[in-house]
Structure formats: structure tokens, C-alpha cells
Homo-oligomer: A and B are copies of this chain.
Amino acid sequence: MQHYELVEKVRLLVVDDDPPIADLVATVARYEGWEAVTAYTGEDGLRRAAEFHPDIVVLDLMLPGVDGFGVLDRLRASGTMVPVVFLTARDGVADRVAGLTRGGDDYLVKPFAVEELMARLRTVLRRSAGPAFQRSVLQVGDLTMDEDTREVRRGERLLSLTPTEYEVLRYLMRKSPTVLTKAQILDHVWEYGFGGRSNVVELVVSRLRRKLDETDEGGSPLIHTVRGFGYVLRQAAE
């Protein structure tokens, strides 16, 4: 995996007036080994940016006081080119367009799934880190996933996955060969606030299996059930 090997330890600044959200993002980032700092107002965000020198910023557009765009403008005015990923509420269609045209590097609609946010942050970092040539390709056994082209292959065979299947598989691949519980998968791949305590994960896994292992005789299964615990993606765990 090791994308962004250049960066010692990614420094992330999260600016969101909703403390639980800001902390959520910061916590997840720390668990990835990043350094993360939060700010709950635009002013504070600017202050922290000045002293912390983040490598990337997550910025909510709806801020009391100076709003997201204001923060971005002032960031740029101070000469920093740090990449920014916006967060925005569901409705603001106007916001989306504006966000991108006004210098953001990416944006995400709330409520989002943490894995998706992290994936985007990694992408943005990768792009801004250097020549845009370093592809990010995950690989487990003869299964590969190109995060740029979104192509997933089992050996030669190209798989066609739905968005959810793609996300679940990516999470499994990134964590392989660690065993993940259904709760972990649910928590990371679905939007925060998702209610469905049901067997969604089982279902998606089952669909994934059919596509991955839809064995043209060829393959031993890659997704394994660990009964009473969860799932793993790995080769021939015997």
C-alpha cells in the first residue's frame, strides 16, 4: 500500500463546527498513523493552520463566522498551497460547483463514510505530492484494484462492481490479512448515521463472493468467513 511514502507522517487539520464530526475524522486519521488537529471555527482553523502547517485540510463549508470559502481565501492569501477537501451538506447543489471552482481539491457530501473520506484524502495527497504518476494499486493474491481507474481484476478477468461492493472490497483489501467484524465494516464503509443494523454486510459480501469467486474453475475463494467473528480477505488460508 504505502502511498505517500514521501510524507513522514501526514499532518491533517480538520475544521468543522460540529465537534463530533471533527473529532471523528481526527480519530480515524490518527488510527491511520497521521497527526491530526481540530478546529471548531474558521478563525481557529486559520490560527491552527498557521502554527501547525498541515499537509492537507478538511474544511466544512458551513461555518459560523468566517465560512469555508473565507477560510480558503485567507489560507491562499497567506501563500500556502495546502490542498483542501470540502465537506458540505446534502442539499447545497450550488455549494458543490462553487466548492470546486473556488479552489478546493475535492469535496464530500455529509453524511459521508469514513473510508471514503480517507480514500479521497489519500488521493489528493498522492496527486499533490508529486508527479501525478504514482498509481495506487491494491493487491491481494491475484486480485488487484486500481484506485485511479477503479478497475478491479481477478487475474485477467475484469470485474464489474457496484459502488458499495467496491467500497467493501477496498476496505477488506486495505486491511488484509486482518480479520474484520461486520460492525467494523459497517462503521467504515457506510455513512455515519446509517441505521440498518441488519445483515447488509453479509449480503454485500455474498454478492462480492459471487463476482470474485464466480469461479471459472480458476480460483480458490479469497473472502473467508471467520465464524462468530467476521470476514477476512486473503489467499488460501487453508
- Looking across the interface, which residue of chain B has its beta carbon closest to that of A191? B99
Does B20 lie within 8 Å of A73, measured CB to CB?
yes
Measured CA separation A23–B84 after assembly (Å) = 13
Which of B27, B193, B227 makes the CB contact (< 8 A) with A99? Answer: B193
Which residue of the partner chain B has the closest CB to A187?
B102
List the number of copies, as a whole number. 2
Asked whether B132 lies within 8 Å of A229 as measured between CB atoms, the reply is no
Is A94 an interface residue when CB atoms closer than 8 A count as contact?
A: yes
A77 partner residues in chain B, CB cutoff 8 A: 19
Question: Is the pair A33, B130 in contact by a Cβ cutoff of 8 Å?
Answer: yes
User: Contacts A102-B192, A192-B99, A195-B95: A128 and B163 contacting too (C-beta < 8 A)?
Assistant: no
A105 vs chain B, min Cβ distance (A) = 8
For the side of the interface on A, what is the size category?
Answer: 35 or more
B178 touches A149 (CB 8 A): yes
Within 179-238 of A, Cβ neighbours of B (below 8 Å) are at 179, 183-184, 186-188, 192-195, 197, 226-229, 232, 234, 237-238
Give CA–CA (A95, B190) in the complex, Å: 14
Cβ of A7 within 8 Å of any chain B Cβ, yes or no, is no
Chain A residues engaging chain B, CB cutoff 8 angstroms: 19-20, 23-24, 26-28, 30-33, 73, 76-77, 81, 94-95, 98-99, 101-105, 114, 127-128, 130-133, 148-151, 158, 162-163, 177-179, 183-184, 186-188, 192-195, 197, 226-229, 232, 234, 237-238
